[in-house]
Amino acid sequence: MAAKRTLLSWIELSRAALNRNISSLSGLTNGKIMAVSVKANAYGHGLKEITSILKDNTGVDYLTVHSAEEAIVCREAGWTRNIMVLGPIALDNIDVIFDHDLEPVVFDKKFLSRLGRKADRLGKVVRTHLKLETGTHRQGITADELPAFAEIFRGHASLKKPYGASMHFANIEDTTNHEYAEYQLSNFKRMVAAMGVLKIKPRIRHTASSAATILFRKTHFDMVRPGIAVYGHWPSKETYLSYRLKGGQNDLFHPVLSWKSRVTQIKHLAPDSFVGYGCTYRTTSPTHLAVLPVGYFDGYDRLLSNQAYVLIKGKRAPVRGRVCMNLIMVDITDIRGVRLEDVAVLIGADQKERLSAEQLAEWANSINYEILARLAPGTPRLIVP
Ligand SMILES: *Cc1c(COP(=O)(O)O)cnc(C)c1O
């Protein structure tokens, strides 16, 4: 048996936290169909690993992915329930839908016609979800386009009707003013009614991402599609604030992911020494530095240079100088007894300190979604209880 080697940078995924977040979401929706977003490598957590946990959680009905390639990874990881593909599938790759039993979100006439012809030829019924344009102006079809789509659906025995009708909110997590969300919701309802008149009434309707799931019961319809909250993160401060103002509790979600590394060199610098590229940091007194083998390649944003800190022995060690491609240097002058290969926490808890993805996002002028989604896929993921 191969000896278990010491990892120098790794991600830990808490199975318990993931399952708890899902129960919290199920509690909010009273058991509506649960479609969990695992796009972007499961928000950077690791698609294979997250799928392997979710397949044992019977509270999850659907996985939603962006691409056909992600859907295949889910199937290979043993997911046998429904998969909805949110993003585009190339016209010459339509077979993937039949090969892996996928439910595409549709928004293009040419794509839908080809899908219908193919499905008729194979004699296989396809579940599609029609994306409705209600004001986000990303994917989605307008009310004017509905009759043409209805004709395509009705013209193919294997399609008949879309299984689902969906939309996505443009302005629900970035504000505490939800007028625009209300406007989109009324557009959605009007378009779904028009679908009924055109004899393509959908079986299920779904609109709610995490923020809508948390804040607005009336957006739940038949299915919800949360992403970020499943991983234990609030979509934004505004969502958190709106929820608390409605009297909600703050222990709904627990971060699933921690990112850890190890001290791989310790050095002692004299006063007036420069640290790293561009000589952006200069010591003013005798300084102990630790070198950690993670950098922007690994998803540690370069904007964290001279901004962030990591946790070592439960204490804050500030990043000195610029973040390199594969390395950072941190100041351990005031942390006693740091030794080679001691653990450094980049995201997560260490004794009484906790360093969140939200905190890194603030330093890097970004959002928690981006900090997580950009964690390098090559970093080993360990599932912990
Ligand atoms: C990503 C995505 C979601 C999930 O959004 P979160 O804010 O992460 O909950 C839901 N629906 C669609 C269409 C998406 O693209």
Running along the chain, 385 residues long, what does each successive block of 10 average in pLDDT? Answer: 83 98 96 97 98 98 98 98 98 98 98 97 96 95 98 94 96 81 96 97 97 94 98 95 87 96 98 97 98 98 98 98 98 98 98 98 98 98 97
DSSP assigned state of 132: B
Alpha-carbon Rg for the chain in angstroms: 24
Residue 39 bears catalytic tag = yes
Instruction: For 283-341, give the DSSP string.
Output: -SS-EEEEEES--GGGT--GGGTTT-EEEETTEEEEEES---SS-EEEE-TTSTT--TT
225 Cα–ligand 1 center, Å: 6
Active site residue: 43, 267, 277, 315, which one?
Answer: 277
**Contact 210 CB / ligand 1 (< 6 Å):** yes
Report the separation in Å between the CA atom of 138 and the middle of ligand 1, taken as the mean of its atom positions: 13
Catalytic option among 32, 39, 161, 260 = 39
- Whether 277 is catalytic is yes
Beta bridge partners of 260: 10, 345
Measured by CA distance, the residue closest to atom 6 of ligand 1 is 227
* 8 A C-beta contact, residue 252 and residue 2: no
Query: Which pLDDT does position 178 carry in this prediction?
Result: 84
Q: Which residues contact 377 (CB under 8 A, 6 or more apart)?
A: 41, 46
How many Å apart are CA 298 and CA 296, to the nearest integer?
5
Residue 43, pLDDT score? 98
Measured CA to CA, the distance from residue 338 to residue 291 in angstroms comes to 12
User: Which residue from 28, 33, 209, 367 has its CB within 8 A of the most atoms of ligand 1, so it is best to mutate?
Assistant: 209
